[in-house]
Amino acid sequence: MAEKFKIIGGESLKGEVSIGGAKNAVLKLLAATILVKGSTKIYNVPQLTDVDIMLNVLSDLGAKYIYNKDEKSVVVDADSITSITAKYELVSKMRASFIILGALMSRCREAIVALPGGCAIGERRVDFHIKGLEALGAKIKIENGYVHAKASKLIGTDIYLDIPSVGATENLMLAAVTAEGSTRIQNAAQEPEIIDLANFLNTLGADISGAGTSEIVINGVKQEHLHPAEYTTIPDRIEAGTYMAAVVATRGKAIIKNVYPAHLTFFNDKLIKMGASIKLVEPTTIEVSCRNKLNSINFVTQPYPGFPTDLQAIAMTLLTTANGVGIITESLYENRFMQVPDLRRMGADIHQDRNHAIIKGVKNLTGATVVASDLRAGAALVIAGLMANGETIVEKLHHVDRGYEAFEHKLSNLGAKIKRFNDTDNTIQNSGMVDIRGIL
């Protein structure tokens, strides 16, 4: 049943919120568990539909898992891998499943993985993943929508990435863990999630250095050298940035726990320039507040440590009611302004020309029915709803559930008026029998 949020805007968010484990790290860690024979335990695993999909991918390969949602831990037993195929049904639901390609190559030297295809935000090619694997010695055939990669052995080499692709860096790191000799990935992605994957793999016995810089060196180790381990993933910097923006958007004041401020330097700086106050309370706790109308800013999305594309839509929402004019350039994806038509429906004044958006601050947004077209656009519309006068309905919540654990609960705890409902409730509401405002 299609679920929606109903939001009554205008409440200043106050209180405390704790950030969960990083989706974009934990998905890769889960894929990496199949490198090891035996049981590996990961802590700080958020409860997200994307995590469920990755667990299904692992289970299809023959791995067994125990997902303890109370403890937020997952144990994966990859003692026996009985299949080398990641089906289209799963990869098409979540592109990150494609990361299993490198992991299977490391463990089995053969993999059949569905090509993910494009998605709402852009073409999202995987050519660097393929070329990198070929450079390591894999023979690759693309047939019937699947990548079939095979190698009698993988041999370390130098690989230069045209773009510092996160997924390609991770897939190649995984494949190179058990290659013969050293692999050097140049122009590698430097995201914190890359460091987390390297740290995890090293905990399992891999020999990786340079993660977090543009050159990563993977000295191949023998498969038998790898061993099970326990590991805790990093906090989700995009979830943290989302709550920071929500507090600033509603002129609130809140404590945000379990955040690594160093992972958000660029974003913090932009929020401060807009007029927010961000204080470090403890090494992993910050206090965010904002009293005044925001100032406009300009920014270009860039690979880490630049402004994160995953916070672009959310920052755009802040600009809709800021003083002056802000300009955003989206440099990573061809189509990541999906939120624009919906923000306009809420009263925003946005002019878009290809990958540039010019946002002229208006006095206020007004509530409307809007559609979450992808994960981050969905979060941006939720924040717009919190800022807007009146009532906002955000549809297609399955996108939001991919990356925000207990979103409405965490926001409600901060004082937001937000409620999840489904089509049945909606029918009742439309028939005028129940005013859903009463249940908020």
Q: Which of residues 361 and 403 has its CB atom nearest to ligand EPU in the complex?
A: 403
Distance of CA 87 to the CA centre of its chain: 22
Backbone phi, psi, residue 137, to 5°: 110, 5
313 binds ligand EPU (CB under 6 A): no
Using the contact rule CB under 6 A, the part of the chain among 165-173, 216-224, 227-235, 409-417 near ligand EPU is: 165-173
Which one among 62, 122, 261, 306 touches ligand EPU, defined by CB under 6 A?
122
Using the contact rule CB under 6 A, the part of the chain among 122-130, 216-224, 360-368, 409-417 near ligand EPU is: 122-130
Residue 209 one-letter amino acid: S
Q: Cβ of residue 403: shortest distance to ligand EPU, in angstroms?
A: 6
Q: Cβ of residue 10: shortest distance to ligand EPU, in angstroms?
A: 28
Q: Which of residues 42 and 255 has its CB atom nearest to ligand EPU in the complex?
A: 42
Q: Which of residues 30 and 229 has its CB atom nearest to ligand EPU in the complex?
A: 30
CA 421, 426, 428, 430: dihedral to nearest 10 degrees? Answer: 150
20 binds ligand EPU (CB under 6 A): no
Q: Which of residues 171 and 321 has its CB atom nearest to ligand EPU in the complex?
A: 171
397 binds ligand EPU (CB under 6 A): no
Q: Cβ of residue 247: shortest distance to ligand EPU, in angstroms?
A: 21
Q: Which of residues 99 and 322 has its CB atom nearest to ligand EPU in the complex?
A: 99
116 binds ligand EPU (CB under 6 A): no
User: Across the strands, what pairs with 255?
Assistant: 16, 287
267 binds ligand EPU (CB under 6 A): no
CA neighbor of 120 nearest in space, from 345, 334, 286, 366: 334
Catalytic status, residue 290: no
Using the contact rule CB under 6 A, the part of the chain among 85-93, 126-134, 246-254, 409-417 near ligand EPU is: 126-134
256 vs 16: CA distance, rounded Å = 6
Residue 436: count other Cβ atoms within 10 Å of its Cβ: 17
89 binds ligand EPU (CB under 6 A): no
Q: How are beta strands 39-43 and 158-160 bridged, if at all?
A: unpaired
Q: Return the residues of window 127-146 that contact ligand EPU according to CB under 6 A.
A: 127-129
Structure tokens at 6: 């109903």
What is the contact mask toward ligand EPU in residues 343 to 362, using x (rule: CB under 6 A)?
--------------------
Indicate the residue whose CB is closest to ligand EPU. Answer: 167
Which one among 27, 194, 264, 328 touches ligand EPU, defined by CB under 6 A?
27
Number of H helices, E strands in the chain: 15, 24
167 binds ligand EPU (CB under 6 A): yes
251 vs 245: CA distance, rounded Å = 10
76 vs 389: CA distance, rounded Å = 47
123 binds ligand EPU (CB under 6 A): yes
332 binds ligand EPU (CB under 6 A): yes
Q: Which of residues 24 and 106 has its CB atom nearest to ligand EPU in the complex?
A: 24
Q: Cβ of residue 393: shortest distance to ligand EPU, in angstroms?
A: 22
Q: Return the residues of window 170-199 that contact ligand EPU according to CB under 6 A.
A: 189
User: Which residue of the set 119, 406, 428, 440 is catalytic?
Assistant: 119
Size of the site for ligand EPU (CB under 6 A): 24
CA neighbor of 295 nearest in space, from 329, 269, 324: 324
CA 57, 62, 67, 72: dihedral to nearest 10 degrees? Answer: -60
Using the contact rule CB under 6 A, the part of the chain among 37-45, 119-127, 315-323, 414-422 near ligand EPU is: 119-127
Per-residue CA distances from 169 to 144, 191, 312, 336 (Å)? 25, 10, 23, 22
User: What are the E-state strand segments in 260-389?
Assistant: 277-282, 285-289, 299-300, 325-329, 349-353, 356-360, 369-371
165 binds ligand EPU (CB under 6 A): yes
Which one among 77, 310, 401, 405 touches ligand EPU, defined by CB under 6 A?
310
315 vs 267: CA distance, rounded Å = 9
What is the contact mask toward ligand EPU in residues 91 to 110, using x (rule: CB under 6 A)?
-----x--------------
- Dihedral sign from CA coordinates of 84, 85, 91, 95: positive
CA neighbor of 413 nearest in space, from 18, 6, 5, 2: 18
CB-based contacts of 225: which residues, under 8 Å, 6+ apart?
Answer: 205
256 vs 43: CA distance, rounded Å = 20
| Residues assigned a catalytic role | 119
* Residue ranges binding ligand EPU (CB under 6 A): 24, 27, 96, 122-129, 163, 165-168, 189, 309-310, 332-333, 375-376, 403
